Amino acid sequence: MSATQLSRRTFVTVAAGAGAAFVLGFRCFDPQAQPGSKARAPKATLRANVWISIDSDGLVTLTVPKPDMGQGSRTVLAMILAEELGVDWHKINIVQAPADGTNYGGQGVGGSATVRVMWKPLMKAGATAAAMVCQAAAKEWNVGADAVNLEDGMVSSKSAGKSAPIGEFAAAASTIPVPDSSTLTPKGKGNY
């Protein structure tokens, strides 16, 4: 199976089996909108170019296609994701995506556009990942997802009287259907 035929669900299943407990891909850049890119026929499946993963130890990794050339964009991206997931931004591992313009779009930097382009999609993706972790915990604890909170790297529910590190629900979160991001309200101060 080639990478271009890999569906989002198949990728998550394969990645979970390979060691990553929870992986969520999302699109920040439209490869067809990038200067100098070759136009392609649109595909029915998501071609994610940014990845959020949470492993069973609670390590959150954000894979981004744009390098940081000293503007501090990776610090800002880590802070945005940390706010949505309720984790310490210092503990988010940022990984550079491989040099692959076909799958990751234009990977150059200029005009300080990385944060301007990525903050809304990243906030939505972070809220989506948080919702999936909360749903996994709610299912295990037999409470509503709205009774589950993420804060300081912990998943907790006062009504269930339980608390656990975020990594404990990473594998279960990977089996939750991805919710429609339009139904979610990100925690981020920059509401959109």
SS3 sequence of the chain: CCHHHCCHHHHHHHHHHCCCCEEEEECCCCHHHCCCCCCCCCCCCCCCCEEEEECCCCCEEEEECCCCCCCCHHHHHHHHHHHHHCCCHHHEEEEECCCCHHHHCCCCCCCCHHHHHHHHHHHHHHHHHHHHHHHHHHHHHCCCHHHCEEECCEEEECCCCEEEEHHHHHHHHCCCCCCCHHHCCCCCCCCC
| pLDDT level of residue 136 (50, 70, 90 thresholds) | very high
| pLDDT level of residue 191 (50, 70, 90 thresholds) | low
In tens, the pLDDT along 20-34 reads 578 888 777 554 444
| pLDDT reported for residue 190 | 56
Per-chain mean pLDDT for the chain: 80
pLDDT for 2 beyond 50: no
More confident position, 91 or 104: 91
Predicted TM-score of the model (pTM): 0.78
